[in-house]
Amino acid sequence: MSVDGVAGMRVPPHPHIGLQTVTWLLNGDVLHRDNLGSEQMIRPGQLNLMTAGRGIAHSEEFSEIVGAGLAAPRDASADAPLAST
């Protein structure tokens, strides 16, 4: 797999509920896809936030990232999901 000409990793579609993920790109590119129909290319220096809310499934292809999953407040798991860069 290569997003930007550099061999990387492909994470297949997987679900999240009541979680917010933060992806900060160090090098290369990240291709984010989700079941909301979002397809975003994330570039170095950009920050990607994904709020799972009541449920989202996403996949990513990347070469090098720093990512974290943050537990959202309990009542946030009823919110609509959102992905943004």
Is residue 48 included in any domain, yes or no? yes
pLDDT at residue 1, as a whole number: 41
Is residue 26 included in any domain, yes or no? yes
CATH code assigned at 47 = 2.60.120.10
pLDDT at residue 52, as a whole number: 84
Note down the domain range covering 54: 9-84
Kindly state the tokens that stand for 49.
């936030």
Spatial distance between the Cα atoms of 41 and 3, rounded to a whole number of angstroms? 9
Spatial distance between the Cα atoms of 24 and 17, rounded to a whole number of angstroms? 21
CB 42 within 8 A of CB 48: yes
Domain count, the chain: 1
Name, in order, each residue with C-beta under 8 angstroms of 5's C-beta and a sequence gap of 6 or more.
none
User: Tens place of pLDDT for every residue, the chain, 85 residues?
Assistant: 444 455 567 888 989 888 888 877 777 788 889 999 989 898 888 888 888 888 889 888 876 655 656 666 777 667 776 666 5
Is residue 2 included in any domain, yes or no? no
Kindly state the tokens that stand for 25.
């790109």
Name the pTM for this structure.
Answer: 0.65
Is residue 1 included in any domain, yes or no? no
